[in-house]
Amino acid sequence: MAATPFFANLDRIFILLRDWLVGFLPVAVRPAASVVLGVIAIVCVFPGLFALTTIFERKGLGRMQNRLGPNRVGPFGLFQPVADGIKALIKEDIVPLSANAAVHFLAPLTLVVAVFMEFAVLPMGRNMALVDMGSGLLFFFAMSASTELSVFMAGWSSRNKYSLLGAMRAIAQMISYEVVLVLSSVSVVMIAGSLSLPDIVNKQNHYTHGFPHWYIFTPWGFAAFVMFAIAATAETNRSPFDLPEGESELVAGYHTEYSGFKFALFFLGEYLAMFSVSGLGTTLFLGGWSAPFSFLTFIPSWFWFFSKVMLSIFVFIWMRGTLPRLRQDQLMNFAWKFVLPFTLLDLLVTALWRILGLGWQRWVFCTVILVAAYVLMGLDQERRRHIGPRRYRYAE
């Protein structure tokens, strides 16, 4: 096993690099400097990933729609994000005359700062969480909740009806689906017994016959993961839940009146929110940085984390290319009449899973309850569905 130290060092390469860089500084400032280096890494890596994702998304969507996508800037159009970035920087920054200038200026900044904070608690590899906080999950949700106010600030301060409508829709949607996002994470907390994200990853990092103990491979975990994925899509305003910026109805939603780099900041915030929520889903259900098979554990942990995040991003793009946009009432009915009850049921099933203890019974009972509930709820919705002209309550 001569190769083992090499892979062990590759696994720790970023930590070693940080320690080597910090080693040049006096001892007194070393702890602060290592935190600052971690922050710099996050602030550089994720916007870089954002640039890559935009070209990936445009290419991928192009292929799904039977066209080429951007292919003019650089080889295969790979430098398109660079061109877009320069364009955003040199564009004129237009602020509407009747806009509330101070709030209009602050909205994109507060959004991006709150989203960046979310990355602080995500374990991106073995010992690679910036802050190992005892209540990391709570911190993550606190930060994601504070982005809603930025959306409101943007929509209201623009003094434009499309902006305000978009912001109202976004907030209604984010509040409705945030409940589901938190509740589906609670089932993981019930089993792991910890709010600390590195702890949750460690609890999943075991193997039986070469297969991992990820929470998605349990009945309750699978159900919670599906609900989490739906809520995460809605929370990041991605298609099919992209009503807040439905371009056929609202121009561009709450960032209609933003141009230049402020618009780019909103764009960045949206993609960073996608990365962070994918990272959280990876950590909670997909085993975080642990390898999918025990014989693959020699590959560095950070590689697995980022592969899983990029896989989730690909699923986001795939859904955007596949599904049509929901209507506002469909969105709300789906959240409150299907997703939320099912998540609450899944919480009870998780408790049952814990009570039944080890053995085959818990697999059978939990699977039967969840499948039966899914089928019954589906039949009930099917029975209530009536196709016909839509009745409007307020617009007649």
Partner 1 sequence: MNAVFYLLAAITIAGGVAAVMLKHLIHSALAVTVAFAGIALLFLQLDAQFVGFAQILVYIGAVAILIVFAILLTHGADLPREGVFSKSWLAGLIIAAGVFAVIGWAVLESIDAVPQRNAVFEVSVQKIGNALVGRYVLPLEIVGLLLTAATIGAVIVAMHEKERSR
* Site residues, partner 1 (CB under 8 A): 98, 100, 103, 133-135, 138-139, 141-143, 145-146, 148-149, 152-153, 156, 159, 171, 175, 178, 194-195, 393
Q: Rounded to the nearest whole angstrom, what is the least distance from the CB of residue 283 to partner 1 in the complex?
A: 17
Question: In angstroms, what is the minimal distance from the CB of 281 to partner 1?
Answer: 19
Beta strands in the chain (DSSP E): 207-208, 211-212
Tell me the backbone φ, ψ of residue 316, rounded to 5 degrees: -55, -45
CA distance 378 to 164: 35
CB of 33 to partner 1, least distance (A): 19
Q: In angstroms, what is the minimal distance from the CB of 171 to partner 1?
A: 6
Measuring CA to CA, how many Å separate 163 from each of 151, 191, 203? 10, 42, 44
Residue 152 or 306 with smaller CB distance to partner 1: 152
Q: Where are the beta strands (DSSP E) in 131-243?
A: 207-208, 211-212
Of 184, 392, 154, 103, the C-alpha closest to 269 is 154
Angstrom distances, CA of residue 51 to CA of 79, 108, 109, 272, 311: 9, 18, 19, 11, 16
**CB-wise, 214 or 342, nearer to partner 1?**
342
- Residue nearer to partner 1 on the CB measure, 121 or 272: 121
- Tokens read off for 186: 């609670």
- 84/94 Cα distance (integer angstroms): 18
The least CB distance from residue 114 to partner 1, in Å, is 9
Q: Fill in the DSSP letter of residue 72.
A: S
Nearest residue (CB) to partner 1, 22 versus 143: 143
Cβ neighbourhood burial of 209 (10 Å; 0-12, 13-18, 19+): exposed
Closest contact distance (angstroms) between CB of 80 and partner 1 is 36
* Residue number, 148 or 346, with CB nearest to partner 1: 148
Minimum separation from the CB atom of position 133 to partner 1 (A) = 7
Nearer to partner 1, 98 or 248 (CB): 98
Under 8 Å between Cβ of 285 and 225 = yes
What is the rounded distance in angstroms from the CA atom of residue 41 to the CA atom of residue 237?
A: 26
Distances (CA, A) of 58 to 93, 291, 383: 25, 29, 40
- Residue 1 Cβ vs partner 1, minimum distance, rounded to whole Å: 39
CA proximity to 281, closest of 196, 216, 347, 350: 216
Residue with tokens 């609450």: 344
Choice between 4 and 98, CB closer to partner 1: 98
Note whether 243 and 326 are within 8 A (CB). yes
Residue closer to partner 1, measured from CB, 190 or 299: 190
